[in-house]
Amino acid sequence: MHTPRLNRRFAPRRVSFSSTVVYRPPDQRFEALAGKVASALESNEGGAAEQDFAAVRSAVLAQMPTAGTARYWLPIQVRRGMGRGARRSSREDELIYQILANGELSSFVSVSEDYTCISVTINIHMESVSVDGVIALGHSSNGRRCTQVIPLTIGSDEHEVHCLHEAHARIAHELGLDMPGSTANHFRCVEIREVGSRTRAMDVLNRYPCELYGMLYADEGWRHVGLDTARAALAEAWGTRRFIRAMASGDACLMVNLRSAEYSRSQHRYFTSFFESGPAYFQHEYRLAALEHGPFLAIELATYRKCIVDELDGRFGKDSSGESASDRGPRVLSGVRARSYRRSRHRSLAEGMRRLQMHPSTALSSLDTMVEKACGLPAREEYLGRLLRAYEAEEQINYTYRANGLIAALTWINVLIALIAAVATVAIRF
């Protein structure tokens, strides 16, 4: 294993970081909860995040399954100064506060009717930040607390939190998203828009694999990761332009996006040569991490689908004895209540699988596939597919038994009628 050289200075600029928590309430509660969110937030102005999504609607990204999801804007900012009762802490403890205070914050709530999910995103755009700073944000979004209090104003309310995870919890509680019986999941995105004078994303991946590895995995030990390990982790990079590469792993996505002014001008010249005007998409300066080119939308879709898989896996993956239904195989259940229960579970599982498979293919399906593979979704969906087929086979066996039983009963009835008729004939003769 090679030891990476650390004398190369990696100084990314125009970096965005977003943390999103997705909630999937019980189906019967979704409509009322979605209405509550819309009523509470629909009058808010969106600022930079709203402009980002407006620009996306003019591009091919509008075809992605979650591009049309309803978004509601939630004002958020760091109040200057220390929180009440906060004590002076070490430089490391103040890191999160300094990043949040010096960055540009935005927040929004997304409501997906197709997947009955509601998600909360907090985004931070920073003109400059270290690798360790981005990793610290990842730890903060996972719940690691700072001793330094972060004073936030969310909407019109003032809060004091110790991490981004707490900020999410406060928002969820205010909107009623943390109700019992709901499924929760999360993801984070990082985007780097400038690395010195470099214009090719692969140059950055080849030059700074360990740094990018640390940012993707939120791994504070990136300085001790071997080059082979880091490069292997970044090998499945996606991109349709030389200046972009996106990578995903589990619940995270990292995009290096070195879009130049020349590219924007080139796209503008093309569209104005044939049409009245060029799409705003190519000129817009995005703040939301990984929205341009689609990685944010891809991992958002994957996380919505992961919530459905989590719910189905929890409901159908194990029976009361702890034995998985796919291992158990088809089993004939007797009794009207048992048959009704089995049919109800079969319908619920079939409906869940239908939701998982309903998203259409788009020009960016390869991006969706890369992200879903990194999230481990294909294997889990295949397991649920086997479970559904087991239910269907079991139902077919039960149908065969019922049909055979009915035929046997009719046969015996016919025999009995024939016997009675024979007896009656003999009786009449005598």
The total domain count for the chain is 2
Q: Residue 68 corresponds to which tokens in the numbers above?
A: 């049309």
**Whether residue 142 sits in one domain with residue 59:** yes
**Whether residue 101 sits in one domain with residue 123:** yes
In a domain, 21, yes or no: yes
pLDDT at 322: 43
Radius of gyration of the chain (CA): 28
Q: Write a three-state SS string for 314-350.
A: HHHCECCCCCEHHHHCCCCCCCHHHHHHHHHHHHHHH
Q: Residue 363 corresponds to which tokens in the numbers above?
A: 């020009």
**Whether residue 269 sits in one domain with residue 332:** no
Question: Which of 287, 305, 323 lies at the terminal end of a domain, its last residue?
Answer: 305
Question: Which of 286, 305, 324 lies at the terminal end of a domain, its last residue?
Answer: 305
pLDDT at 8: 63
Q: Residue 194 corresponds to which tokens in the numbers above?
A: 């400038």
CA-based diameter of the chain, in Å? 117
Ordered alpha helix ranges (H), 103-194: 131-141, 164-175
Nearest-angstrom CA–CA distance, 278 and 205: 31
The answer to whether the beta carbons of residues 59 and 281 sit under 8 Å apart is yes
**Whether residue 334 sits in one domain with residue 269:** no
Q: Which domain holds residue 230?
A: 12-305
Q: Residue 316 corresponds to which tokens in the numbers above?
A: 């159908």
- Dihedral angle at the C-alpha atoms of 10, 15, 16, 19, nearest 10 degrees? 20
**Whether residue 160 sits in one domain with residue 33:** yes
Q: Residue 185 corresponds to which tokens in the numbers above?
A: 């999941």
Per-residue pLDDT of the chain in tens (430 residues, 90 and over written 9): 444 444 468 999 999 999 999 999 988 899 999 999 999 999 898 888 899 999 998 888 888 889 999 999 999 999 876 544 444 445 556 778 888 888 999 999 999 998 899 999 999 999 999 999 999 999 999 999 988 889 999 988 999 999 999 999 999 999 999 888 788 899 999 999 999 999 999 999 999 999 999 999 999 999 999 999 999 999 999 999 999 999 999 899 999 999 999 999 999 999 999 998 888 899 999 999 999 999 999 999 999 988 888 887 777 765 434 444 444 444 444 455 555 656 666 666 766 767 777 766 666 788 988 998 888 887 777 777 777 676 666 666 666 767 777 888 888 888 788 788 777 777 777 6
Q: CA of 194: how far to CAs of 10, 102, 246, 283, 330, in Å?
A: 11, 18, 15, 16, 57
pLDDT at 375: 85
